[in-house]
Every structure is written in structure tokens, then in C-alpha cells.
Amino acid sequence: MSTTKKTTCGCSPDKAQSAACCGDETAVDKKHLRIEYLYLDLNTCDRCIGTDNVLDAVVDKLKPALTLAGYNVEYEKIEIKNPELAVQYRFVSSPTILVNGTDIFGEVKESDCGCCGEIAGTDIDCRVFQANGETYEVPTEEMLADAILKSLSVPSAHKDSYVFPDNLRRFFEGKKEKGQECCC
């Protein structure tokens, strides 16, 4: 007696080869949620480090509920080490959080960042976050959770043309001059 599962849809009976088989409802029903944390530095920059810690806590708290709601949640941290990566990710300011490729905070506001200025040896502005009329260098858990959840109901934004920001050009040039350029 054979134990091979037969399918009528043409899918492979080996689910590993055909994750989206019509007989695998979980693969078909899953919604994709990709969270990407883009940053310049997690060793020196207080804003990047602080946002990283808060985002980790928020993802840990939201992931079980999102999974229960049918989402396949991916979370990745991406250090923007060079101008090529900045262009690839259409990176405008550090730190940035993308959900399915869209910046969850939209418009970028910045202020002087002494930490990144120290890294580059020149004045550098980094992102600040605004909520309820207040400005924060590191977003709160509530701000991040709210922005992530709101992004679920917003279609991915159309990507306009990208212009490499002068602020990032100065950052990478300053790092290179100080001999801190990554070999990647």
C-alpha cells in the first residue's frame, strides 16, 4: 500500500518543493509582513542603538498577534555601510524603519546628531520622530507599534525618484577620511 499523497491540482506531493500548493492552506493564506531596520551605526550612535532596542521590544510583542492574524513576519536589521547600500534601499536618514518597503513614519525630520558627527568628523543630522506635538530622538514603543500596525492597512507607496542626500554623502566621505570606511 502506497503512502504517497496524490494531488489533483498538479502540485508536487512534496510540500517542501511546493510551499504554495493548493492543498497547503497555510501557505496560501499567509500575508507577508517584512520589517527592515535601516541604520548607520549600532556601536556609537545613541539614536540608532535606542531605536534598535525599542524596535526589538515592539517586534517581540507584536509578532505573536500578527502571526495569529495570519501574517508571515520577517524582521531584518540592515547596516547602511556605504553609499551603494544607501541607494539600493533608497535610504534618506538614519534610523529608518520600513514595513514592506515603505517608511512607517513618512516625512523625514532631522536634527544634529553629535554621535554620527563624531563618527564622520563633521556635522551630521539624523532622524527625529514626531508624535502628539513632541519630538523624540528615539521613538517610544507606543509610537513604533502604532506606526507598524497602521502600515498594515496602507498599500506600499509608489517609489519616487531617489536623490542621494548630501547629509549621507558627508557622513560616508567623513568616515572614509577618518579611515573607517568598510571594506564591504
Average pLDDT, the chain: 84
Tens of pLDDT along 51-77? 999 999 999 999 999 999 999 999 999
In the prediction, which pLDDT does 179 show? Answer: 77
Given a cut of 50, whether residue 111 has pLDDT beyond it is yes
Query: Which 3 state secondary structure label does DSSP give 49?
Result: helix
Q: Is the pTM of this model over 0.85?
A: no
- φ, ψ for residue 168 (rounded to 5)? -70, -35
Strand order in the sheet with 109-112: 109-112, 125-131, 134-136
Q: Enumerate domains of the chain plus CATH numbers.
A: 29-151+163-177 (3.40.30.10)
Residue with cell 520589517: 35
